[in-house]
Structure 1
């Protein structure tokens, strides 16, 4: 091989490596997590039915793992325990979301950690539990002193923070759906599913674009959902849409191995309620108003219900 060919060969390799590095920086990967399990059911869908449907969506779409953050105060019957066991038996995992769903911003450190310890004790009887704690309301504590004390307690018990990178108002969409059911309104389920998928997808794109603009890469994302009726109805469509956009569904454990996992500094991160990407960017001086997607607003969702023509009065 002459020197000219060798030089061209080296340049080609360098170009390929550069393209690979760009591709790795914008990897389009996301993990699926659920808060507040086991959420109570209703006359239209029992809690057990909801669990079975969520598991079916995940298994039918070959999602290898998902993480269910358990609010242990929601465990009120053997059926509730069976629901959590069903997730673990299907190959998925459970994690810690408190006992009473307390806000760390609105309660003392002592009260918050007593509640944390109670949930930790209850979770010891379940299999498939990973030591991640997700703060209710994504409230980490309103002062550096509180955040530092809580973080130290988590570390003492070998817990890591089960942060999110993609926040949304799926809980409010679900509450409007349940209210429409209760009121006896005629619900267009196709339109509701379209609203759900497109709104959540817009949130994923928003936080990924923020990361690419300011962090210069796409982290391994963590999607926040709730273990609710809309997940039971439309999770499969959400998964299909994510993949249709060239994204990969990864395990939460893999997502939590991303470098942003170790970026959290209790004394410096004041703005945590929009997720880890927003928290990092706030600490870098990005304006808070730029770190929240428009759909994270009740009035915005109300307008979407009208635009998508989700409901109408029955005659």
Structure 2
């Protein structure tokens, strides 16, 4: 009897393991070389960028970083020390893609001007990659805004394809940028009435760091459920992050948390091999939602399909100085 019970339990364990979804995720990091370039001192920039790269090395997963070339410049001239920041990403084995010159909104500037920022966004990147036998392959729309009409989206997509680019979607959309703005504003004192390096500031920074990872994990859980509901399986997800002060202290912890959720990390190329990424982008509007939600819109899913998405807490929004994510 005991032997029969043990056998049944073993079979149940095997069946349970077999039912586990194949969780895969690719990491992308926007706004290179640094999100808050204009408000970060050269000394802080060097220290914080080095800390971010150290976090990436500790985590040890593949990353594609997306570059805003205007952030390389001062008075229109590319600065060697800022260009060297991108070289450091390549030296560490990461890929670089185009995020436009100036992080412009296609819905605001119009298609011709947007296409111009794509070309201006590769003036340093393309020759830099050429020296390593590479070409720019990936493009990320700023704000994830890909065009307000089908015609505009087609025009942008065709232009990118003609210049050798593939669009890098995002499935795990999130408010990481809000947490990062809050962290940076507390770090420099602007969110705490000019508070200097005090125990109060240290406590708030720690609260932000500790709250950030669970928030992001909840987002990933939500989009896994969305994938299962829409597609019937766990899509290889594509995560959006940014090059900022918060990830310079919390990125490796976030990656470890995702791994504990049962995810394995894949390249963007590997994730994009899933046939779901060939689906129609069904969104026409001013915002930039997750591609999972764009596909759901193409299928005219009801409003309650999108319910339950985690939100950034009010206290974090207040520290970030924004009304909403």
State the TM-score, normalizing by the size of structure 1. Answer: 0.82
Secondary structure, in 3 states, of the residue corresponding to 1:199? Answer: helix
Between 1:29-38 and 1:283-292, the stretch displaced more is 283-292
Alignment: residue pair count: 284
Cα deviation for residue 46 of structure 1 reads: 2.2
- In the other structure, the counterpart of 1:219 is 235
Secondary structure, in 3 states, of the residue corresponding to 2:107? Answer: coil
Whether the aligned pair in 1 keeps the contact of 2:138 and 2:165 (CA below 8 Å) is yes
- Once the two structures are superposed, what CA deviation does each residue of 1:54-79 show, in whole Å capped at 9, x if it has no partner? 2222222322x201000111112211
- In the other structure, the counterpart of 1:246 is 262
Cα deviation for residue 198 of structure 1 reads: 0.9
The answer to whether 1:68 aligns with 2:82 is no
Q: Give the Cα–Cα distance (whole angstroms) in 1 for the partners of residues 67 and 297 of structure 2.
A: 29
* Structure 1 residues 242-281: aligned runs within 5 Å: 242-265=258-281, 268-270=282-284, 273-281=288-296
Secondary structure, in 3 states, of the residue corresponding to 1:110? Answer: helix
Q: Give the Cα–Cα distance (whole angstroms) in 2 for the partners of residues 148 and 140 of structure 1.
A: 9
The answer to whether 1:36 aligns with 2:38 is no
The answer to whether 1:103 aligns with 2:105 is yes
- In the other structure, the counterpart of 2:125 is 123
Q: Give the Cα–Cα distance (whole angstroms) in 2 for the partners of residues 62 and 29 of structure 1.
A: 15
State which of 140, 156, 166 in structure 1 corresponds to 2:162: 156
Cα deviation for residue 303 of structure 1 reads: 3.2
Q: Flag the 1:110–1:305 CA change in 2: closer, same or farther, 3 A.
A: closer
Q: Flag the 1:195–1:19 CA change in 2: closer, same or farther, 3 A.
A: closer
Q: Give the Cα–Cα distance (whole angstroms) in 2 for the partners of residues 201 and 18 of structure 1.
A: 23
Q: Give the Cα–Cα distance (whole angstroms) in 1 for the partners of residues 173 and 308 of structure 2.
A: 9
Between 1:285-294 and 1:272-281, the stretch displaced more is 285-294
Secondary structure, in 3 states, of the residue corresponding to 1:121? Answer: coil
* Structure 1 residues 1-315: aligned runs within 5 Å: 23=20, 26-39=21-34, 40=37, 42-43=40-41, 46-63=44-61, 65-76=62-73, 77-127=79-129, 130-181=136-187, 182=189, 183-184=194-195, 186-188=201-203, 189-265=205-281, 268-270=282-284, 273-287=288-302, 290-291=305-306, 294-296=309-311, 300-303=312-315
Secondary structure, in 3 states, of the residue corresponding to 2:246? Answer: helix
- In the other structure, the counterpart of 2:10 is none
Q: Give the Cα–Cα distance (whole angstroms) in 2 for the partners of residues 100 and 228 of structure 1.
A: 17
Secondary structure, in 3 states, of the residue corresponding to 1:98? Answer: coil
Whether the aligned pair in 1 keeps the contact of 2:100 and 2:142 (CA below 8 Å) is yes
Cα deviation for residue 19 of structure 1 reads: 7.9
Cα deviation for residue 106 of structure 1 reads: 1.6
Between 1:208-217 and 1:171-180, the stretch displaced more is 171-180
Whether the aligned pair in 1 keeps the contact of 2:97 and 2:136 (CA below 8 Å) is yes
Unmatched runs of 5 consecutive residues or more in structure 1? 1-15, 311-315
> Pairwise CA RMSD of aligned residues?
2.7
Secondary structure, in 3 states, of the residue corresponding to 2:137? Answer: strand
Cα deviation for residue 119 of structure 1 reads: 1.0
Q: Flag the 1:292–1:123 CA change in 2: closer, same or farther, 3 A.
A: farther
